[in-house]
Amino acid sequence: MTQSLIFDIKRYSINDGPGIRLTVFFKGCSLRCRWCHNPESLLPQRQKLYSRDKCIACRACVDACPQQACSLDDEGLVTDASLCQSCGNCAKVCPTLATEMTGRFYPQDELLAIIEKEVPFFDQSGGGVTFSGGEPLLHMPLLLDLLTACGERHIHRAVDTSGYGRSEDLLNVATQAELILFDLKLMDARRHKKFTGVDNQLILGNLSLLAATGAAIEIRVPLIVGVNDDAQNLHQLAEFVARLPGQRPRVSLLPFHNVALHKYVKLGQKYESGTMQTPDSEQLQQAAEIIGAPGLDVRVGG
Amino acid sequence: METSDQRQAFPQRKAASEGNFYADKHHEIGPGMNPRIQRLRKRSVETVPSLSIERALHETAFYRENYGKYSIPVLRALNFYDHCQKKTLYIGADELIVGERGPAPKAVPTFPELTCHSVGDFKILNNREQQPYTISDEDIATYAREVIPYWQGKTIRERIFSHVPQPWQAAYEAGLFTEFMEQRAPGHTALDGQIYHKGMLDFKAQIAGEIADLDYLNDPTATDRFEELKAMDISCDAVILFAERHAELAEQLAAQEQDSRRAAELREIAAVCRRVPAHKPQTFREAIQMYWFVHLGTITELNGWDAMNPGHFDQHLAPFYAAELAAGTLSREQAKELLCCFWIKVNNHPAPPKVGVTARESGTYNDFTNINIGGITAEGWDGVSEVSYIMLEVIEELHILQPGNAVHISAKTPERFLHAACKVIRQGHGYPSIFNPDVYVVELLRQGKSLRDAREGGCSGCIEVGAFGKEAYILTGYLNVPKVLEITLNNGVDPLSGKKVGIETGDPRDFATYEELYAAFVRQLNYIVETKIRVSNYIDRMFAKYAPAPFLSVVIEDCISKGRDYYDGGPRYNTNYIQCTGLGTVTDSLSALKTHLFEQKTLAMDQLLGALAKNFAGEEFLRQTIINKTPFFGNDDDAADEIALQVYADLLAAIDGKPNVKGESFHLNMLSTTCHIYFGKMTGATPNGRLAGKSISDGTSPSHGADTHGPSAVIRSLTKLDHSLSGGTLLNQRFLPSLLKRDEDIVRLGQLVRSYFTLGGHHIQFNIVDTATLKAAQESPEDYKDLLVRMAGYSDYFNDMNADLQQEVIDRTENEAF
Chain A contact for B782 (CB, 8 A cutoff): no
Chain A contact for B624 (CB, 8 A cutoff): yes
State residue B10's pLDDT score: 32
Name which of A220, A219, A216, A204 is nearest A246 in CA terms. A216
Name which of A191, A192, A239, A199 is nearest A219 in CA terms. A239
Name every chain A residue with its beta carbon within 8 A of the beta carbon of B715: 121
**DSSP, res B659:** B
The C-alpha atoms of residue B486 and residue B504 are separated, in whole angstroms, by: 13
- This prediction's pTM: 0.91
pLDDT averaged over every residue in chain B: 90
- Tell me what the mean pLDDT of segment B177-192 comes to: 88
Buried b (16+ CB within 10 A) or exposed e, B628-640: bbbbbbbbbbeeb
Name every chain B residue with its beta carbon within 8 A of the beta carbon of A95: 620-622, 624-625, 628-629
Residue B462, classified by CB atoms within 10 Å of its CB into exposed (0-12), middle (13-18) or buried (19+), is buried
Torsions phi, psi for B108 (to 5 deg)? -105, 125
Please give the residue that has the higher pLDDT: either A248 or B797.
A248
* Cis peptide bond N-terminal to A44, omega within 30: no
The C-alpha atoms of residue B268 and residue B281 are separated, in whole angstroms, by: 14
Cα A43 → chain centroid: 12
State residue B795's pLDDT score: 43
The C-alpha atoms of residue B662 and residue B620 are separated, in whole angstroms, by: 51
Question: Is B116 a known active-site residue?
Answer: no
Task: Tell me which of B755, B782, B804, B813 to substitute to probe the interface with A (most A C-beta atoms closer than 10 Å).
Answer: B755
B689 Cβ neighbours under 8 A, 6+ residues apart: B592, B616, B623, B624, B626, B627, B630
Residue numbers of chain A with a pLDDT score lower than 70: 1, 273-275, 302
> B142 falls in which pLDDT band (50, 70, 90)?
very high
Instruction: Please provide the DSSP assignment of B55-76 as one string.
Output: HHHHHHHHHHHHTTTS-HHHHH
Buried b (16+ CB within 10 A) or exposed e, A50-71: bbeebbeebebbbebbeeebbe
Name every chain B residue with its beta carbon within 8 A of the beta carbon of A262: 801-802, 804-805
B752 and A121: CB-CB below 8 Å? yes
Angle at A130 between CA A126 and CA A133, to 5 degrees: 160
The C-alpha atoms of residue B250 and residue B743 are separated, in whole angstroms, by: 47
pLDDT 10s digits, A124-162: 999 999 999 899 999 999 999 999 999 999 999 999 999
> B3 falls in which pLDDT band (50, 70, 90)?
very low
> Do B436 and B728 form a contact (C-beta atoms < 8 A)?
no
The C-alpha atoms of residue A292 and residue A80 are separated, in whole angstroms, by: 51
The C-alpha atoms of residue B812 and residue B398 are separated, in whole angstroms, by: 27
Secondary structure in 3-state letters for chain A? CCEEEEEEEEEEECCCCCCCEEEEEECCCCCCCCCCCCHHHCCCCCEEEECHHHCCCCCHHHHHCCCCCEEEECCEEEECCCCCCCCCHHHHHCCCCCEEEECEEEEHHHHHHHHHHCHHHHHHHCCEEEEECCCHHHHCCHHHHHHHHHHHCCCEEEEEECCCCCHHHHHHHHHCCCEEEEECCCCCHHHHHHHHCCCCHHHHHHHHHHHHCCCCEEEEEEECECCCCCHHHHHHHHHHHHCCCCCCCEEEEEECCCCCHHHHHHHCCCCHHHHCECCCHHHHHHHHHHHHCCCCCEEECC
The percent of residues in chain A predicted with pLDDT above 70, rounded, is 97
Chain A contact for B85 (CB, 8 A cutoff): no
The percent of residues in chain B predicted with pLDDT above 70, rounded, is 91
Chain A contact for B775 (CB, 8 A cutoff): no
Name which of B791, B592, B779 is nearest B703 in CA terms. B592
Residue A12, by phi and psi: left (phi above 0), alpha (psi -120 to 50) or beta? left
**Beta strands per DSSP E along B628-775:** 666-669, 732-735, 763-768
- Chain A residues at the B interface, defined by Cβ less than 8 Å, are 10-16, 19-20, 22-23, 37, 51, 53, 56, 58, 60, 95-97, 117-118, 120-121, 123-125, 127, 220, 222, 254-259, 261-262, 265, 301-302
Chain A contact for B797 (CB, 8 A cutoff): no
Measure CB to CB from residue B759 to each of A12, A60, A120 and give the nearest one.
Answer: A120
Instruction: Please provide the DSSP assignment of B762-775 as one string.
Output: -EEEEEE--HHHHH
Provide the number of CB pairs (under 8 Å) joining chain A to chain B: 110
Residue type, B14: K
- The yes-or-no verdict on residue B168 having pLDDT over 70 is yes
Name which of B171, B371, B389 is nearest B288 in CA terms. B371
pLDDT 10s digits, B418-455: 999 999 988 776 688 899 999 999 999 999 999 999 99
pLDDT 10s digits, B375-432: 999 999 999 999 999 999 999 998 888 888 999 999 999 999 999 999 998 877 668 8
State residue B133's pLDDT score: 92
Cα B256 → chain centroid: 42
State residue B800's pLDDT score: 63
Measure CB to CB from residue B792 to each of A58, A123, A255 and give the nearest one.
Answer: A255
- The yes-or-no verdict on residue B797 having pLDDT over 70 is no
Name every chain B residue with its beta carbon within 8 A of the beta carbon of A51: 802
> B180 falls in which pLDDT band (50, 70, 90)?
confident
The C-alpha atoms of residue A129 and residue A16 are separated, in whole angstroms, by: 9
Q: Which of B462, B559, B580, B675 is catalytic?
A: B462
> Do B403 and B371 form a contact (C-beta atoms < 8 A)?
yes
State residue B310's pLDDT score: 96
Which chain B residue's Cα is nearest to A263? B801
Please give the residue that has the higher pLDDT: either B249 or B187.
B249
Chain A contact for B629 (CB, 8 A cutoff): yes
A10 and B795: CB-CB below 8 Å? yes
The C-alpha atoms of residue B643 and residue B637 are separated, in whole angstroms, by: 10
Residue B481, by phi and psi: left (phi above 0), alpha (psi -120 to 50) or beta? alpha
State residue A231's pLDDT score: 95
How far from A169 is each of A176, A300, B17, B456, B614, CA to CA, in Å? 11, 29, 57, 58, 60
- Tell me what the mean pLDDT of segment B777-789 comes to: 71
Which chain B residue's Cα is nearest to A252? B793
The C-alpha atoms of residue B484 and residue B507 are separated, in whole angstroms, by: 15
> B771 falls in which pLDDT band (50, 70, 90)?
confident
How far from A126 is each of A17, A204, B417, B747, CA to CA, in Å? 10, 30, 19, 11
Which chain B residue's Cα is nearest to A123? B755
Pick from A122-126, B170-174, B366-370: least confident: B366-370
Name which of B211, B214, B213 is nearest B234 in CA terms. B211
Name every chain A residue with its beta carbon within 8 A of the beta carbon of B792: 37, 254-257, 259, 302
Is the Cα dihedral B642, B647, B652, B653 positive or negative? positive
- The yes-or-no verdict on residue B661 having pLDDT over 70 is yes
What ipTM does this complex have?
0.92
Alpha helices in B399-549 (DSSP H): 415-426, 437-446, 451-455, 481-488, 514-546
State residue A157's pLDDT score: 98
Is the Cα dihedral B55, B60, B66, B68 positive or negative? positive
> B7 falls in which pLDDT band (50, 70, 90)?
very low
- The yes-or-no verdict on residue B28 having pLDDT over 70 is no
The percent of residues in chain B predicted with pLDDT above 90, rounded, is 76
The C-alpha atoms of residue A51 and residue A60 are separated, in whole angstroms, by: 15
* Cis peptide bond N-terminal to B277, omega within 30: yes
A12 and B752: CB-CB below 8 Å? yes
- The yes-or-no verdict on residue B798 having pLDDT over 80 is no
- The yes-or-no verdict on residue B21 having pLDDT over 60 is no
Cα B724 → chain centroid: 20
B794 and A13: CB-CB below 8 Å? yes
pLDDT 10s digits, B81-101: 999 999 999 999 999 999 999
State residue A215's pLDDT score: 96
State residue B788's pLDDT score: 59
State residue B363's pLDDT score: 59
Tell me the sheet residues that pair with B767.
Answer: B734
> B182 falls in which pLDDT band (50, 70, 90)?
confident
3-class SS of residue B733:
strand
What is the nearest CA distance from A55 to chain B, expressed in angstroms?
Answer: 11
What is the nearest CA distance from A60 to chain B, expressed in angstroms?
Answer: 9
